[in-house]
């Protein structure tokens, strides 16, 4: 059975002709490959907002319970801080 390689485009995105994809991340065997839309953010701080929004979305994917989400978000931040301090690649 072949694995699905792409996520489904949300209906809201598909219906909006002005929507643009800004980041894509693929999981390979032991690394990630990433692509971004260069020039999308005029100020690099905008990427910080995007990354925090992404971290919150990730934490919500673990459970509907707010306590579980908060624990997951804290673990995401711990992983971010660890990678920032000691990059793996």
- pLDDT band at residue 4, thresholds of 50, 70 and 90? confident
pLDDT score recorded for residue 59? 96
Name the nearest CA neighbour of 71 among 58, 56, 59, 53.
Answer: 59
- Mean pLDDT score across all residues of the chain: 93
Give residue 48's Cα distance to chain centre.
12
Q: What is the pLDDT of residues 13-35, one digit of tens each?
A: 999 999 999 999 999 988 899 99
Residue 3 confidence class, pLDDT cut points 50, 70, 90: low
Q: How would residue 2 be classed by pLDDT, with cut points 50, 70 and 90?
A: low
């Amino acid at each position: 059975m072949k694995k699905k390689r792409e996520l489904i485009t949300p209906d809201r995105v598909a219906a909006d002709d002005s929507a643009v994809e800004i980041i894509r991340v693929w999981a390979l065997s032991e690394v990630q490959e990433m692509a971004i839309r260069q020039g999308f953010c005029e100020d690099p701080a905008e990427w910080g907002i995007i990354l925090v929004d992404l971290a919150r979305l990730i934490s919500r994917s673990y459970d509907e319970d707010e306590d579980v989400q908060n624990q997951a978000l804290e673990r995401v931040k711990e992983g971010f801080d660890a990678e920032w301090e000691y990059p793996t690649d």
